Amino acid sequence: MMTVHSTGILTSGQSAASNIATCIPCCLRYPMTVSSMGMFTSGLFAWAICRPLGLVEAKAVVSPRFYITHMMPVGLFMALTLWTGNNVYLYLTVSFIQMLKAFTPGELCLVVADAGCGGCCVCR
């Protein structure tokens, strides 16, 4: 678990810098473009693994009602998260964003403890 956290800490700065390095020189006024490219690529690979390559069996049929009530809200909020997360790079400095990211585990601990879902050992 410690490796995952340290890897995230080490790569988060690079992620922010590469996002800025991509958006500004390429005149990408809409940061959602970068996220959309990642989402499109993920969807394309998932489709290729399931359908043409057949590495994963895709046997479930999704009804329109299930798609609208279960999958659309998840997709909507994921898109909003990506949009707001990338849009912030246009208005805030990378150092301030890194400070906010560093405090995220503390915020999560407080919210989970407040919700009564267990919390972390520091909050108990």
pLDDT digits (tens, 9 = 90+) for 63-118: 899 989 998 999 899 888 878 877 877 888 888 888 888 888 888 888 888 887 76
Q: What is the pLDDT of residue 69?
A: 93
Rg (CA), the chain: 19
Q: Which residues, in sequence order, are CB contacts of 49 under 8 Å at separation 6+?
A: 55, 56
The full length of the chain comes to: 124
Instruction: Give the whole-angstrom CA distance, residue 121 versus residue 109.
Output: 9
Q: What is the pLDDT of residue 120?
A: 60
Q: What is the pLDDT of residue 68?
A: 93
pLDDT tens digit string along 23-42? Answer: 666 666 666 676 677 778 88
Instruction: Give the whole-angstrom CA distance, residue 11 versus residue 64.
Output: 39
Token pair listed for 1 = 């678990």
pTM summary value: 0.44
What is the distance of C-alpha 112 from the center of its chain?
20
Q: How would residue 15 be classed by pLDDT, with cut points 50, 70 and 90?
A: low
Instruction: Give the whole-angstrom CA distance, residue 88 versus residue 42.
Output: 23
For residues 65 and 50, the model is more confident at 65
Token pair listed for 84 = 């707001």
Token pair listed for 24 = 């500004």
